[in-house]
Structure formats: C-alpha cells, structure tokens
C-alpha cells in the first residue's frame, strides 16, 4: 500500500513540475532532436552508456545543435567547436551557470565547491584564491622541484613493485596535490588522508551519474522525508554529506593546528591564512582548497593511466619519443623541466593524450541564466547545456584519422587544432583546477599544473622503461570509452574492462648504470645492489583494476 501511495505522490509532484515548466516556456522552436512522449518527454532517449557517442549520432541527423526534454526540463547538446564557442565562450554571460544537481549539490553539499557552485560572488572569490597560487607560469614553476621529486619517487616504485602501476600513479598524484594544498606528505599506500578524500570522491561519482537518482529528474522529491518508502536517497545523502564535510574540514583543520604550534609547512592553505595583506574568509579558503584535490587528482590519474596503455598499443610512438629523449639526454640522466622546450615530440604526445581520450568527454554541463536564441532556435532559461568534447576532438573535419593516436599531427608547419582549446571547457566555466596548459591570454587557475605533471611523469617513464605486451595477441581496445569515474569513468574503465588484465612488460633501459637514472640514497644502497642483480629487462607489470 505504501508503495502505491509513494507512486501517486511522485506522479502528482511530476505533474505539477511539468505544468510549471510548460506554462513558463515561450512558444518558440527548440533545437531539433528525438521526438518525445507527452509529460515524460525524452526520458527513454537520454543515453546512460557513452552518451558522447549517442550525441554524435544525433548530430548526423539533426545538426550540431540538438535538444531533448524530460519532464519539461530542456537539455541542449553542442556537438561542434563552432557552436560551443559561439554560445559558451562568446555568450558566457548567459551560459556561465551550473545546472542544479539536487542529490550531489543540494542534499550532499557539493554546491559549495567551485566546479558545481552557482556563478556569483562565491564562485569569483574561490577562483581568485586559486589563481593566486595556480594561475601563472611563475607560481607553477615554484612547484617544479616538487613535481620532479614525486615523479622520481614514482619511477622508483614502478621499478620496485611494477605490478602496482595504477596504485603508484594514484599515490604520486595524491602526494603532489596534498603537498601543494595542505603541506601534507603521503608516506604509505593506505594513507588515511587519501582514503578520506577518495571516499567522498567515489560518492560524488555515484551521486552525479545521470539518471542515478530520481530526485535529479523530479527535484521536488527532495522534500520527501527519509522514512517514506522510496526515499532511501535521503539516508545516503545524509551520510555522504558528512563524508564530504570530513574531506573539506579534516586537512584544513590540520593546517590550522600546525599554524598554532608554529609547525605549518608552506602550502596553499598556510600561505593564505598567514598573509597580512588581505583577510580571507574561512569558508572560501577551505572549499577552494578542497577543490584542488577534488577536480585535479582524478583527471590527472586518468591521463597518466591512459598514457601507459597507449604506449603499449602504439610502440612506434613510444620509440620515437624515446629516440628524442636519447638525443637530448644522451642516456645519462632523467629529463627535467629545463629540457621541455627541447622535446617537441614529447609535448605533442601530451597533447595527443588529451585529444585521443578526453577525460571528461561531455564535460560538466552548463546552465543558462536567461532565455537565448541561436540560429533561429530557442534555448530557454534554466536549460542544461552539454558540450560534446569527445565529438569535437574526434571531428574528421578537424583531425585527420581521428581514431588513430598520432602525436605528429601537432608538429610541422601546419599543426592541427590544439585539443586543449576544447578539452577542458569553455567560457567562464573552463576548468580551474589542475589540468593542462594555459592557451589563452588570461590564464585560468591551475591549468598549468597537470600539464607539468603529465610532462614530467611521461618523459621520465619513457626515459626509464619500455612498455610492451607480454602476450602476443593484441588487446581489445575501444577508444570511444571515456570519462573519469562518471562525468568527471575513464582510463580506469579502459584498464579494467577492455584490456582483460593484459600484462605490460616494463624493461629498464639503462641497465648498465641504474643509479645514474634513478639515484639511490645511502640507506637504499643494499636494495639498489640487489636490484642490479635482477633481470631488469623482463619486469612484468600487471594492469590492476581499481577496487
């Protein structure tokens, strides 16, 4: 009986919501799209598996701007760089909002983090704080020694326990971001701080999955008490909100205690708390700090996971990159940031990683702050707008043989379009956390940091290891899979589901003098001598799927 009452309640709320949307909508044509049903609209057309491919197929039927509607909520899909630039960049005043994610945003509290925050004073305040530390080449250069140190540590770990490839990459990225943000050093694989943050991120991954929770489709359900059958999402939201608060408060409070005892290391949080020129609101600072890890860690790990897979699948690319490194380094040392300008093929390889496998293939959706008209079609206020980044980076009109991994497309006198112009967002909502390089005159906070991480890890790995298959058969690989976790499931998805636990072989290149490539400390001397006696050119690396 209770289930029938719940169903009646849901239908009643849905009817009111739909009628409200219907009455407020102007009588003007929306962009074309699949034909829906009365009341529910296109609820059965909204893709949940690789939506970027479905959206791309729609472009062949209805053009590069198409739409659908669910319970009166309009969804606009932009399948080309032309349309995305025209709306999200040129009309950023209208398209700078984020859609309201009821489960993740309202009920769990993620609306306070810059990536999901409504556009306004809070957004601008967080952006300003992040820009002060991550927004220029000069500030990023201060992190280069730390980047090189963490990358070197990663190479050592891969040499000592190569079967833990993904775990080592995750720890390396976490260690870097936590040191920059909180001055915290990750010293073990099962680090409590990393586990705390990853717990909240996993829950965000579930909560932000399209169609996962009915409350995101029918927002009025958020008023249901948790004891009503079918309102179990309220119980989850309460626990997950506490996990998010732990992620934000625990490391921040740690830094405050260190400041009180005079033991705080230099980091993003301590520098801003101790500055005398301008007072920083605590709420803004702690959420800006949490955003650095939340937005940066997963995406950077996904790019590096993808790198190791693609080097196995494209050995010719790997050999060319190693040849360039040999010509510059002479086989005597590992690369540093001072070598970057002399390594154009390595830099092109990093660009191709971003193009071939964008970690957020449909990005984080935008929202419209007011009504708009584009090429004769009406886009209502409150619409959810998707930029199909995967379609843009695989457009055959822009990239020759887009399904082929080819760094050389970015070399020579006529390079193809830099994929970083689209891969990390548009307009005022471009990625403001650690991602790739700054391309525009007004650098966005943090977009240089992960470019640095990607460059130093990829170049060091190529200078230290050969990456190849152990089995003779080609592994199954489908580059149409994408996304980190969900919107923000990606390189991990490839590793877990498509390689079928394929083995990688990492061969240490410079066996004659391993200490010249990966220096050992005095305490590590015995370990180094033992390692030198091993057969270093046949180290098997198992690609582990994440838990």
pLDDT reported for residue 489: 27
Of 474, 379, 373, 362, nearest in space to 424 by CA: 362
pLDDT reported for residue 519: 52
Q: Does the residue 518 lie in any domain?
A: no
Asked if residues 171 and 254 have their Cβ atoms less than 8 Å apart, the reply is: no
SS3 content of the chain, % helix, strand, coil (to 5): 55, 10, 40
Q: CA-CA distances (angstroms) from residue 1 to 4, 7, 244?
A: 5, 10, 36
pLDDT, one tens digit per residue, over 83-128 is 999 999 889 888 888 887 888 888 888 888 877 777 777 777 788 8
Q: Does the residue 188 lie in any domain?
A: yes
Domain harbouring 384, CATH code: 1.10.630.10
Q: Is 90 exceeded by the pLDDT of residue 361?
A: no
> 488: burial class by Cβ within 10 Å (0-12, 13-18, 19+)?
buried
> 40: burial class by Cβ within 10 Å (0-12, 13-18, 19+)?
middle
Q: Does the residue 511 lie in any domain?
A: no
Binned at pLDDT 50, 70 and 90, residue 365 comes out as confident
Q: In what order do the strands lie in the sheet with 503-508?
A: 465-469, 503-508, 539-542
pLDDT reported for residue 427: 61
Binned at pLDDT 50, 70 and 90, residue 514 comes out as very low
pLDDT, one tens digit per residue, over 125-174 is 788 888 777 767 777 888 899 899 889 988 888 887 777 888 888 888 88
Residue 352 exposure: Cα atoms within 13 Å on the Cβ side? 28
Q: Does the residue 20 lie in any domain?
A: yes
pLDDT, one tens digit per residue, over 163-202 is 788 888 888 888 888 988 998 988 777 788 888 888 888 8
**Separation between Cα atoms, residue 349 and residue 110, nearest integer Å:** 34
pLDDT, one tens digit per residue, over 275-314 is 766 677 888 889 888 888 776 677 788 889 889 888 888 9
What mean pLDDT, rounded, does the chain reach? Answer: 76
pLDDT reported for residue 454: 92
pLDDT reported for residue 204: 82
pLDDT reported for residue 374: 92
Binned at pLDDT 50, 70 and 90, residue 351 comes out as very high
Give the count of domains, the chain. Answer: 1
More confident residue, 480 or 498: 480
3-class SS of residue 475 = coil
pLDDT, one tens digit per residue, over 51-77 is 888 999 999 999 999 999 988 889 999
- CA-based radius of gyration for the chain: 24
Mean pLDDT of 191-214: 80
Q: Does the residue 507 lie in any domain?
A: no
Q: Which residues contact 476 (CB under 8 A, 6 or more apart)?
A: 498, 499, 500
**Separation between Cα atoms, residue 107 and residue 101, nearest integer Å:** 9
Residue 75's DSSP bridge partners are 68, 384
pLDDT, one tens digit per residue, over 457-495 is 999 999 988 887 655 545 555 556 554 433 222 232 223
**Separation between Cα atoms, residue 281 and residue 126, nearest integer Å:** 10
Residue 158 CA, chain-centre distance (Å), reads 23
pLDDT reported for residue 497: 28
- DSSP 8-state secondary structure symbol assigned to residue 546: P
Residue 147 CA, chain-centre distance (Å), reads 19
Residue 271 has which token pair?
A: 């520098």
Range of the domain at 311: 2-464
Q: Does the residue 190 lie in any domain?
A: yes
């Amino acid at each position: 009986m209770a289930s029938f009452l719940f169903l009646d309640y849901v239908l009643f709320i849905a009817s009111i919501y739909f009628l409200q949307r219907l009455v407020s909508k102007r009588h003007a044509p929306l962009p074309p799209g699949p034909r829906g049903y009365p009341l529910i609209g296109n609820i059965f057309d909204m893709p949940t598996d690789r939506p970027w491919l479905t959206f791309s197929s729609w472009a062949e039927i209805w053009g590069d701007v198409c739409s659908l509607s669910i319970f009166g909520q309009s969804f606009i899909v932009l399948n080309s760089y032309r349309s995305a630039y025209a709306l999200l960049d040129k009309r950023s005043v209208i398209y700078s909002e984020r859609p309201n994610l009821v489960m993740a945003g309202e009920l769990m509290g993620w609306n306070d983090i810059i990536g999901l925050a409504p556009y306004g004073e809070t957004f601008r305040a967080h952006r300003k704080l992040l820009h002060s530390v991550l927004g220029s080449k000069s500030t990023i250069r201060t992190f280069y020694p730390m980047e090189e140190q963490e990358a070197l540590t990663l190479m050592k770990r891969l040499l000592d326990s190569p079967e833990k490839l993904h775990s080592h990459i995750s720890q390396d990225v976490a260690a870097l971001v936590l040191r920059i943000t909180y001055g915290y050093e990750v010293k073990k694989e099962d680090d409590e701080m990393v586990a705390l943050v990853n717990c909240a991120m996993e829950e965000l991954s579930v909560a932000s999955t399209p169609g996962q929770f009915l409350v995101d489709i029918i927002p009025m359900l958020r008023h249901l008490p948790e004891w009503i059958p079918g309102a179990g999402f309220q119980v989850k939201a309460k626990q997950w909100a506490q996990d998010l608060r732990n992620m934000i408060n625990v490391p921040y409070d740690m830094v405050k205690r260190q400041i009180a005892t005079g033991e705080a290391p230099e980091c993003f949080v301590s520098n801003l708390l101790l500055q005398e020129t301008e007072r920083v609101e605590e709420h803004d600072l702690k959420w800006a700090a949490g955003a650095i890890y939340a937005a940066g860690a997963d995406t950077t790990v996904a790019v590096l996971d993808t790198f190791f897979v693609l080097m196995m699948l494209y050995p010719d690319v790997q050999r060319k990159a190693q040849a360039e490194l040999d010509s510059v380094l002479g086989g005597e040392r590992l690369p540093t940031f001072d070598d970057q300008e002399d390594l154009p093929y390595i830099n092109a390889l990093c660009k191709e990683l971003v193009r071939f496998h964008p970690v957020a293939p449909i990005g984080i959706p935008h929202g419209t702050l007011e009504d708009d008209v584009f090429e004769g079609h009406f886009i209502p206020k409150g619409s959810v707008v998707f930029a199909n980044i995967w379609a843009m980076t695989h457009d055959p009109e822009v990239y020759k043989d887009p399904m082929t991994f080819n760094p050389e497309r970015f070399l020579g006198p006529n390079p193809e379009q830099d994929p970083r112009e689209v891969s990390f967002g548009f307009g005022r909502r471009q990625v403001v956390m650690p991602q790739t390089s700054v391309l525009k005159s007004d650098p966005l906070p943090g977009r240089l940091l992960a470019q640095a991480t990607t460059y130093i890890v990829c170049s060091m790995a190529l200078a230290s290891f050969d990456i190849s298959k152990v089995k003779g058969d080609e592994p199954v690989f489908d580059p149409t899979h994408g996304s980190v976790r969900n919107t923000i499931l990606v390189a991990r998805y490839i590793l877990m589901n498509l390689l079928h636990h394929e083995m990688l072989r990492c061969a240490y290149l410079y066996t004659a003098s391993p200490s010249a490539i990966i220096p050992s400390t005095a305490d590590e001397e015995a370990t180094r001598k033992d390692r030198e006696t091993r057969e270093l050119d046949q180290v098997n690396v198992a690609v582990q799927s994440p838990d």
